[in-house]
Every structure is written in C-alpha cells, then in structure tokens.
A and B are shown apart, each in its own frame.
Chain A
Amino acid sequence: MNAKALILCLLPVTSLAQGFAGLGTEVDGFSTPAPDPVFDFPADHGAHPDYRIEWWYLTANLEDADGTPYGLQWTLFRSALAPYEADGWDSPQLWMGHAAVTTETAHFVAERLARGGIGQAGVVADPFSAWIDDSALEGDWRTLQMRATGSDFSYDMALSATGPLVFHGDGGYSVKSAAGQASYYYSQPFFDISGTLNLPTGDVQVTGSAWLDREWSSQPLADNQTGWDWFSLSFDDGAKLMGFRLQQTDGMHYTSATWITAEGETTPYADGALQVEPLLTNAAGVPVHWRLTLPARGVDVTVQAVNDDAWMTTSVPYWEGPVTFAGTHQGRGYLEMTGYD
C-alpha cells in the first residue's frame, strides 16, 4: 500500500474510509458557522484556516462553434488537520485540486495534492489568487483567469461576471440538516466564460456560462448523512436554481434550494419545498436522470446527464458533470453526486 493512498484515506474532508459520511464527524477546536453572517469582501474570498473544510468550486457549461456541448470543472479543496496555518512543512492545511473536462463521450480528470505553508498551493484574497501547482484561478471576481493541466488535457479560460454574488440559505448561512449543521455558502452564478480546451483530439475554442461556488464549514453534515446530490440549473429565461438533497442513513432526505432571478434576487426554500427523485441509473448504479419539482415556482423538470460516465476517478471518487433539462422549463446546468462509491 502506498503512503499517498493511505494518507488520502485519512484526509478528514475526503476520507476514503469514511466516505463523504466523514463530513458528519465533529472535530474540536474549529470554528463553526453562526446565523446572520456578515461577509467581508474581498477578505472572505480567501481561505478560512480556522474552519475545517472549504472549497472554491467552479463548473461551466460550454459549447464549441458547432454547438457541441462540453462541461468543465475547476476545484480547489482545503482540508485542515488543525485550525491554524503555519509556515513550512508543519502547516496543517492540506490542499486538493481537481480539474475535469467532460465531452459527450469522454471524461478527463486530474488531481493534485499539496500542503499549505510552502507555497505549492493556497488562496490569497487580495489580489485574489487560488492555485495548486500550475492550476490557478486569479482575478478580481469581476474578471477571472483560470487554467489547469492534466496528463492528457489542459485548459485556459477567461471569465467575466454579469451579475451580483448570491447568498444561499439565510443570507449565506446554509443549513444542512434538521439538527442544525450548516455552512457559509455563496455563489457567483453569472459568469460568461470563453477559452481553449486542449484535448488529445486537438484544441477546441469554447464559450459558455460558469458558476463559482464558495463554501466553508467545520461539520457541514449531520452524522447520519452520507452524501448529496447537488444541482445548479440555468434556465433559458435567465433565472437559476441551486438545489441539493442530502442522503441520510435512515433512507430519508433533506433538501434545500435557492431560486435566483435573472437579476440576482434570491428566495431560499427550506427542507421539503424542493423534491428530487432519481429516475434512471447508469451501469455503475449512479442516477443520471432525475426529476426535480419546486411547486412554489411551478418547476417540474427532467434532468439528464450529457455524459453518463462523468465519474471522478480521484482519491475520493464522485460524479460531476454537465446536464440538460426539459419539462416546464428548459436549460442546462451541472450535477454533483457523492456517496455512491
């Protein structure tokens, strides 16, 4: 057994041994999110070492000149072994970068690991820069540059925001369970994006829209929650919907949603308002067709993966890929599913 795999097993945020259920483990010494947050930008775009986990999570729906759809992911996870940052190798902050490009027939994945404290990976708030190795997301949040490299692909993208930041839950305080587990959660869902995908088949010029999530917490799940199904949907009329369903060991679910108008006004929906129902699973048993209903908004759509096999073969495997939907509304988005391995 190699050290790397084992150390990954033990990474608290992405524990292979515990699966995503590990997110329900309580750890002493870390700060915990409190209601009525007051965010301080640009400082809060940076890292919060006193919280156990945090991520900068960007997904994009792209298409080339022919209209062929592509999905793109750029993620930087932070996982802390202890609630502080230190210089050098003694830093307890561990970083994990994931990058992916999904086509209708292929799914390219790259993963990088690093320790904080030595400069190999990190996030600085002002001027904003998030990086691990040669993968980076940099800019002032109105515009951003983004790049990533894997052994068989790379990309280089430019983003520009066309709307405001949106805050989920109660002003950015997002409750995840009946027991009150919560995280700080805001997004910039209004990015226009363009750039070049470098794939084994050649370079592709693409454009589309991107959605950047920011979330941090110390125990975002209750101890009986084992994974989630997360949707970010962009409606053709400009409105957006963020919704997720948390899986519980008792077979029950906890749902939450944010309705975002084209102008960026938000309405949060508490547990039960959004209904999420798997319709069809792929060969590996992961649901790739879903029915989402939000009666309060007259939404009843069927969501379908662009590529059923968007499985992230990373140290902690999960499913992440572009989707399209139809029904009462139409549009495209991204789906993330954890807890199925």
Chain B
Amino acid sequence: MTRAAFAALLSHWVRNPVQLFTLLAGLALATGLWSGVQAINAEARASYDAAASTLDEGRYDRLVARDGAAFGQDVFVMLRRAGWLVSPMLTGDLDGVRLIGIDALTAPAGMGPVNLGGDVDLAGFLTGGDQVFANAATAPRLGAVTVLITPDLADDTAVADIGTVQRLLGRAGRIDSLLVLPDQPRNLPPLARIAPDLTLQPAQGSTDIAGLTDSFHLNLTAFGLLSFAVGIFIVHGAIGLAFEQRRGMVRTLRALGLPLNRLIGLMLAELLVFALVAGVIGVALGYVIAALLLPDVAATLRGLYGADVSGNLQLRPSWWASGLGIAFAGTLLAGGSALWGIARMPLLAAAQPRALAMAAGRRASFQLGAALVLLAVAIVLGFNADGLVTGFALLGTLLIGAALALPPVLNGMLAFASGRARSVTAQWFWADTRQQLPGLSLALMALMLAIVANIGVSTMVSSFRLTFTGFLDQRLASELYISTDSAEQTAALVAFAEGAGAAVLPIQSADLQIAGQPAEVFGTRDHATYRDNWRFLQSTPDAWDTTFAGQAVVINEQLARRGALGLGDMVTIGSLTLPVEGIYGDYGNPIGQVVLALDAFAQEFPAVEPRRFGLRVAGDPADFVAGLTAATGIGAGQTIDQAEIKALSLAIFERTFTVTTALNILTLAVAGFAILMSLLTLAAMRVPQLAPAWAMGMTRAALGRLELLRAVMLAVLTAALALPLGLALAWVLLAVVNVAAFGWQLPMYLFPLDYARLGGFALLAAVLAAGWPAWRLARTPPGDLLKVFANER
C-alpha cells in the first residue's frame, strides 16, 4: 500500500517537472539566501574586526622616544627587567604596505590581529622565516616574502614578527614604540629612571568606533533575520502551491482507501527528502553567492568555510548544519500548515473552485484581521518600545502584519479598479487578476519584504555612513594632536603655536557623577572648530555663546537620555549649577559627557592640567611639527596626524557599504525568482481560466500581453506599498533598536534616488519573472485551450 501510494504521489512530479523544479528551486533559493547573507554578514564582521584590531594599537598607552625616532631594543629589555610589562613594535613601509612588527610573546592578549590557524610553521614565523600576514587583497603586493593570508587584517596592512620586520626594513635592533600592557605589576620603578628618553603617549581610546560597529552588527543581524523571513515566504509559497495542485489526487487517494495518517506521513517524508535535496543545493548556492558577491572572497571563505592552509575550500559541518537546519525548519513551517489543511480537508467537499474561493475568502478575512491586530500592536509598540526585546517585537509585528495585510489591500485596490472599469476587457482583466491574487500572494509578500528590507537597510546604511563621516569630521577636526610631558613643554607649545598662527585646543577632562550617571566633564576653549563641526540634536540658538561664556553647558545624547535631561534642565558640576543649552550626538561613546567653558573648568578642577591638545594648523602639519621640534624639542613622537587615521577608518567602512549593496541586489533577485516560480506553477491552472476569454475572441498574444501587464502592475502596487513600510523599518532600526541597545539614536536621512532605483529593480525583476510565463501562455496550442471545453471536469 505504502509503495503504491508513494509512487502515485511522486508521479505527480515526474509528470510536472516544472513544478518540481520551482519547488526545489524555491527551497534552495531560500536556503541559499540565508547562507549567502550569513556569509556576507560574517564578511562585514570580519572587516570590522580587522578595522577594530588595526585601530586597536591605539587602545594601549605607548612609550615612544621624545623625538619620535626609533630606539634600540635594549631599552625594551631594560624595561622588562625592571618589571615593566611592555611589548615592542616596529612599523614601516614595505612595497606600499604598512608593515607592523610585533613580538607575539609579550604582546597584550587580543592584540596583534594574526590568526595562526592549523599547521602554521611557528619556527618560521618566530625565527627569521620571513613570514608575513596580510589579507587576500594586500597579499599580492608583498613581493619577496612568504605571505600567509588572514581575513583578520585591514587592507594595506601586514603583520610579522618584529625580528622579520627589522630585517625587511633594514633596521636591525631598532624599535619605534613600546605598548604598555594595562595590568602592570605593583611597585614599578619610575620610567624616568630606566628610560629617560621615552615619553608615555596615552591611549587614544577606540570606543567611538567600537560602539558604532556594534550598532552596525546589530542592524546586520536584523537584516539576516529579514532575509530569513523572505526565504520563509518563498518556501511557503512554493510548498503551498505544490500542495494545492495535488488536492484532487489526495482526495482520490483517500477515497480509494489510503488512510489519512499514512498519507500525511508519506507527504511529510516526501517533503523532508525535498528539504534535504534543496538544502544541499542551497548551501552550495550560498557558497557560490558568497564567492561571487564578496569583495574579499578568499578571506571570507576562509573564515566561513574553514579553508585549510593550502587554500583548498571545504564546507564546514556547522555550515551545513545551519543551512540544512534552515531548509528543514522552513519546509516544516511551510509544510506544516499545508499538511494541516489536508488533514482537515473533508473527503467529499468537491474540489469546486467556488468552494475553494469561499474558503480562500474566509482565510483572507482572517488574514486581514490578524494583520490589523499585528499592525495595531506595532503602532502601540512604536510609541512605547524602549528595549531590545520590544524593539525587535516591533520589527516583527510591523513586518509580518504588513505582509499579511498585503493581499487584502491589493484585493481591495483591484476591486475598486474593477468597479470603475468601462470596457469588457478591462472588467475581465481586473476580475481575473483578483482571481489570480491568492496564488501569487505569497510571492508578492516575499517581494514586498525584499523591497522593504532593501529600503530599510539601505536607508540605515546610508544614514550610518553620513553620520559616521560627519562624526569623524567633528571629532577629528584638528589637523594635529600633540601630547606634552610637562607644564614647561605645554607653555613652549602654546608659545610656538601662537607665533605660527595655530590654535591650541586643550583636551582635558575630569570624571564625576552627573544626574546620577557617570560622566566626563571637558574643559573646552571657545573656537570655531566646535561651532562649525559639532552638530546639535537639540539646542538653544546661542548654545555655544552661553557655554563659552561659562553660563551654560552642552551635553551628549547619552547623558541626556540616561539622566533624563532636556534643554533648560540644570546640571551640577562641583560647585557650579548650569543649564543645559545643547545636546549633541556622540556616537559610540558609552558614557555621558559635559562640555564646560575652559575658565570655569580651570576653577572647578584646578588639579587637572591639560596634556593633550588639538591643533588647528593652517599649512602643512608636517612643516608645523618640524618647526615645533626645532623650537621646543617636542618630537614627532608626541604628535599624531589624525588625517591618516580618518582616511584609514573610512576606507575600512567603505568595504562594508559595498557589501550591503550586493546584499540588496541578491534579495531582490531572489524575490523576482519567487514570482517567476509562482507564475510558472500557476500557468497550468491558468489555461482553463483563459480558455473562455480566448473562445470569446481575444487573441493569445493579447492574453500574453495582459499577463505581463498584470504582473508588472502587481509589482508596482507592491513596491508602492513597500516604500512607507521600508522607511518605517529604517526608523525602527535607527530610532528604537539602536537606542535600546546603545543609548543613542542614529539620525535618519532619506535617499529618494536610491528608492527610485530600487523600485526600478523591483519592476525589472517582475518583468523578467513574468516574461517567460506570459510568452509560454501566448503560445499555448489551441488544442490545449479546446480541451478545457471538451473535457468538463
């Protein structure tokens, strides 16, 4: 019995290979999309981690020579033997690549972005084997050395053992800085006694960037979930259609005595086999997608798929498990409801289209009800969401609610159009479109979610980019940053700078509690730098004037939110109580900040002596530094050219933006394919519906054209509905999820041109998807159309 029944079930696919193909392709694409997004996500993370670890060098205090020049490594040994936990570094240029030499044995844990996997030749690395680590993009530029590829390094950067770097740069025995480990032993002898020529350069603090990247990671994770939702809709559509087509057969099988349990079991087994096959194809597809789309293929594949050292790729078991898990989960989720429908389907309710339509009608109103409830919840959450959980709940209710609402809304629009149609053809067109809608609705939902995800994510990414660039401009506005050793040096610096026409902006802060929150107070000098570059989220018209006059303060967003401070609220700093007149965005900073006028700060915190300064220099910063060194003895080692750091960080982030564009195109392509599959599957059902129109005098070519028009029109309507939803999604990500996770809101910018282009892509996807089915329909042999009449069902 089982074999005969199974053979009958399977025979359907043999007779309808296109349907089998669309089902498997739908499943495989959903899996592939998920896998590909995971790959791209991982790539984005890898590039951040590389950025973060390259910038990590700034996380530690450093010892450098006063003149910034290299010094002998004997100083390193002397410091170590005196108990100082320091690690030597030497940096130089090799073939245009920034070569960093480290001593892995003393470097701080987590520093040194070298991922020595597998059978690395340790002896070769440590003892003069000239092994250099670099990422795949940088590796070809390094000529005469053995390059080991690692995804953990930023572009244009290479890392090697310090001995190797000394040899490659021809600087034997020299180092140019010492990293100071955070956890030093007790009772260290003073630096001046052991290495009087060195000066301590305080850590730069990379929290700014770390905070921003964390936020971006979170948003990419949200995108990953979205892509999964798109995939589920596609799978759901494919499986739903596949079951719909076999309704008649299922009924016959049961009438002939196949028990329901057996039938369900068989169909489930069939589904699982499909899930397995499609899952395997999908994982492979994800691999291909990742390989094609990612700019840094080798690196990412290495990270994701666990390439061995020789460069052969292998798919990791965990990778398979995750991909297949998604295929099975998606199939069961989608197949579950289809099987449930079969289990409840009365044996006798004849498969009359009318009854079906009525059942569909009931489902539609239920769906509309569910959608309205979800959207209502979303609106309530939109006003009240204040945590990560509620933020993601808002995201979920909004998207699912909107997706469920799509078919009823489209149906309403079509009913409206059909009511106003004049010609018979138009009437038939609208009515026929409405009849088509249930079959296409899942694909359309997938398309809408894809467009929504694209609009949401590109808005988020572009807003992020604008904010980040602006933020860097604001925070790294000074051309030079200089730290001084002593009050005398400070005086000398100020004197020289005045003579050279440069502005000296002290960077000094004190830690204290404000409004019950930990915060830093900055004593800041009145300068155009702040007025020109800092952007307020809220402020009074003359916030800077009152602040620099010592009558007010400006605070960062974090402090405003956590301390519930608004404009006009008073804050107490020591003996001062001043009103807040401005709130500025301070992306990535974990704690609160207050900006206070320099004089007020000096009065309140007389013990704090400024040692770091931003310098606004009109000419070439290098000339300024040369003059400064000659005049005051403040060496290049005490100065930092921030332009370099800025350019480096921007280049690294740029890579991720490219990756998201690739992601956008991928999702749309998959949604387009979902439409193609649905249309192909529906094509067989279309013949009986079109036959009467044909019989009544419409040409097949006209019918084909109308089919195409219908698909395009549905896509346009869907895209139009998706636009506000996408913007809502972006808003939730930027203003709710981000605030909940990090305490600050990313400002949202709109990009109408991008949206127009996206709409264009969506249309193109729909045209490409509908083209072939329409063409096939236009060439349906008249005999097939006739059969509809000859052979009443």
Interface set of A (CB-CB < 8 Å, partner B): 1-7, 10-11, 81-82, 86, 88-92, 94, 113-115, 118-120, 131, 133-134, 149-152, 154, 198
A-B pair number, CB within 8 angstroms = 105
B115 touches A1 (CB 8 A): yes
B166 partner residues in chain A, CB cutoff 8 A: 89
- Checking A115, A120, A154 against B81 with a beta-carbon cut-off of 8 angstroms, the contacting residue is A120
Stretch touching chain A among B116-124, B450-458, B468-476: B116-124
Any A CB within 8 A of the CB of B270: no
Any A CB within 8 A of the CB of B388: no
B107 touches A119 (CB 8 A): no
Given contacts A88-B172, A92-B127, A120-B77, 20 further A-B contacts (CB under 8 A): A3-B114, A4-B105, A7-B105, A11-B122, A89-B127, A89-B128, A89-B162, A90-B127, A94-B126, A114-B105, A115-B105, A115-B126, A119-B74, A119-B77, A133-B80, A134-B83, A150-B185, A151-B183, A151-B186, A154-B185
**9 smallest beta-carbon distances between A and B, as pairs:** A89-B163, A134-B83, A113-B105, A81-B123, A3-B112, A90-B128, A10-B122, A6-B116, A3-B104
A120 partner residues in chain B, CB cutoff 8 A: 76-77, 80-81, 106
Taking the closest CB of chain A, its distance from the CB of B127, in whole angstroms, is 5
A10 touches B109 (CB 8 A): no
17 pairs of residues in contact across A and B, judged by CB atoms under 8 Å = A2-B109, A3-B111, A3-B116, A4-B109, A7-B104, A81-B122, A82-B123, A89-B166, A94-B105, A115-B103, A118-B73, A118-B76, A120-B76, A134-B80, A149-B185, A151-B185, A198-B186
B126 touches A92 (CB 8 A): yes
B126 touches A2 (CB 8 A): no
A7 partner residues in chain B, CB cutoff 8 A: 104-105, 116, 122, 125-126
Cα distance A90–B127 when bound, in Å? 4
A4 partner residues in chain B, CB cutoff 8 A: 104-105, 107, 109, 112
Total number of B residues with any Cβ neighbor in A under 8 Å: 42
Cα distance A115–B161 when bound, in Å? 12
Taking the closest CB of chain B, its distance from the CB of A245, in whole angstroms, is 31
A82 touches B106 (CB 8 A): no
Cα distance A152–B73 when bound, in Å? 28
Any A CB within 8 A of the CB of B714: no
A118 partner residues in chain B, CB cutoff 8 A: 73, 76-77
B105 partner residues in chain A, CB cutoff 8 A: 4, 7, 94, 113-115
Given contacts A2-B109, A82-B127, A134-B81, contact A89 B185 (CB under 8 A): no
B183 touches A3 (CB 8 A): no
A3 partner residues in chain B, CB cutoff 8 A: 102, 104, 107, 111-112, 114, 116
Cα distance A4–B181 when bound, in Å? 14
A134 partner residues in chain B, CB cutoff 8 A: 80-83, 185
For A92, the closest partner residue in chain B by CB is B127
Interface 0/1 of B152-168, CB less than 8 Å to A: 00000000011110100
Taking the closest CB of chain B, its distance from the CB of A83, in whole angstroms, is 11
Which of A94, A133, A154 counts the most chain B CB atoms within 10 A? A133
Cα distance A54–B163 when bound, in Å? 25
Cα distance A28–B112 when bound, in Å? 31
A82 partner residues in chain B, CB cutoff 8 A: 123, 127
Taking the closest CB of chain A, its distance from the CB of B472, in whole angstroms, is 28
Cα distance A222–B187 when bound, in Å? 45
B183 partner residues in chain A, CB cutoff 8 A: 151
Any A CB within 8 A of the CB of B110: yes
Chain B stretch 159-196: residues in CB contact (< 8 A) with chain A: 161-164, 166, 172-173, 183-187
Cα distance A81–B107 when bound, in Å? 20
Cα distance A180–B74 when bound, in Å? 44
Interface set of B (CB-CB < 8 Å, partner A): 73-74, 76-77, 80-83, 85, 102-107, 109-112, 114-117, 120, 122-123, 125-128, 161-164, 166, 172-173, 183-187
A81 partner residues in chain B, CB cutoff 8 A: 122-123, 126-127
Given contacts A4-B104, A133-B80, contact A91 B127 (CB under 8 A): yes
- Checking B77, B83, B115, B123 against A149 with a beta-carbon cut-off of 8 angstroms, the contacting residue is B83
Taking the closest CB of chain A, its distance from the CB of B452, in whole angstroms, is 38
Taking the closest CB of chain B, its distance from the CB of A18, in whole angstroms, is 13
A2 touches B111 (CB 8 A): yes
B82 partner residues in chain A, CB cutoff 8 A: 134
A198 partner residues in chain B, CB cutoff 8 A: 186
For B119, the closest partner residue in chain A by CB is A10
Taking the closest CB of chain B, its distance from the CB of A134, in whole angstroms, is 4
A10 touches B116 (CB 8 A): yes
A5 partner residues in chain B, CB cutoff 8 A: 109
B123 touches A92 (CB 8 A): yes
For B73, the closest partner residue in chain A by CB is A118
Cα distance A4–B110 when bound, in Å? 8
Cα distance A115–B120 when bound, in Å? 18
B173 partner residues in chain A, CB cutoff 8 A: 88
For B164, the closest partner residue in chain A by CB is A89
Cα distance A106–B334 when bound, in Å? 58
For B173, the closest partner residue in chain A by CB is A88
Cα distance A1–B109 when bound, in Å? 9
Cα distance A11–B126 when bound, in Å? 11
Taking the closest CB of chain A, its distance from the CB of B471, in whole angstroms, is 29
Cα distance A128–B80 when bound, in Å? 20
A1 partner residues in chain B, CB cutoff 8 A: 115-116
Taking the closest CB of chain A, its distance from the CB of B8, in whole angstroms, is 55
Cα distance A240–B284 when bound, in Å? 67
For B133, the closest partner residue in chain A by CB is A3
B172 touches A10 (CB 8 A): no
Cα distance A4–B111 when bound, in Å? 9
Cα distance A92–B161 when bound, in Å? 13
Cα distance A301–B251 when bound, in Å? 83
Cα distance A120–B125 when bound, in Å? 19
Taking the closest CB of chain B, its distance from the CB of A76, in whole angstroms, is 14
For A93, the closest partner residue in chain B by CB is B127
Cα distance A323–B115 when bound, in Å? 41
Cα distance A88–B167 when bound, in Å? 11
B172 partner residues in chain A, CB cutoff 8 A: 88
Cα distance A91–B103 when bound, in Å? 13
Cα distance A3–B160 when bound, in Å? 11
Taking the closest CB of chain A, its distance from the CB of B201, in whole angstroms, is 23
Which of A90, A114, A154 counts the most chain B CB atoms within 10 A? A90
A114 partner residues in chain B, CB cutoff 8 A: 80, 105-106
Cα distance A119–B88 when bound, in Å? 14
A149 partner residues in chain B, CB cutoff 8 A: 83, 185-186
Cα distance A167–B343 when bound, in Å? 84
Taking the closest CB of chain B, its distance from the CB of A89, in whole angstroms, is 3
Taking the closest CB of chain A, its distance from the CB of B187, in whole angstroms, is 8
Cα distance A68–B77 when bound, in Å? 38
For B125, the closest partner residue in chain A by CB is A7
A154 touches B106 (CB 8 A): no
A115 partner residues in chain B, CB cutoff 8 A: 103, 105, 126
A92 partner residues in chain B, CB cutoff 8 A: 123, 126-127
A88 partner residues in chain B, CB cutoff 8 A: 163, 172-173
Cα distance A133–B161 when bound, in Å? 20
Cα distance A149–B173 when bound, in Å? 27
A2 partner residues in chain B, CB cutoff 8 A: 107, 109-112
Taking the closest CB of chain A, its distance from the CB of B55, in whole angstroms, is 16
Taking the closest CB of chain A, its distance from the CB of B59, in whole angstroms, is 13
B185 partner residues in chain A, CB cutoff 8 A: 134, 149-151, 154
Taking the closest CB of chain A, its distance from the CB of B176, in whole angstroms, is 15
B85 partner residues in chain A, CB cutoff 8 A: 133
Cα distance A100–B775 when bound, in Å? 82
Cα distance A336–B104 when bound, in Å? 28
For A113, the closest partner residue in chain B by CB is B105
B163 partner residues in chain A, CB cutoff 8 A: 88-90
A94 partner residues in chain B, CB cutoff 8 A: 105, 126
Taking the closest CB of chain B, its distance from the CB of A156, in whole angstroms, is 11
B76 partner residues in chain A, CB cutoff 8 A: 118, 120
For B53, the closest partner residue in chain A by CB is A2
For B80, the closest partner residue in chain A by CB is A133
For B101, the closest partner residue in chain A by CB is A89
Which of B117, B127, B161 counts the most chain A CB atoms within 10 A? B127
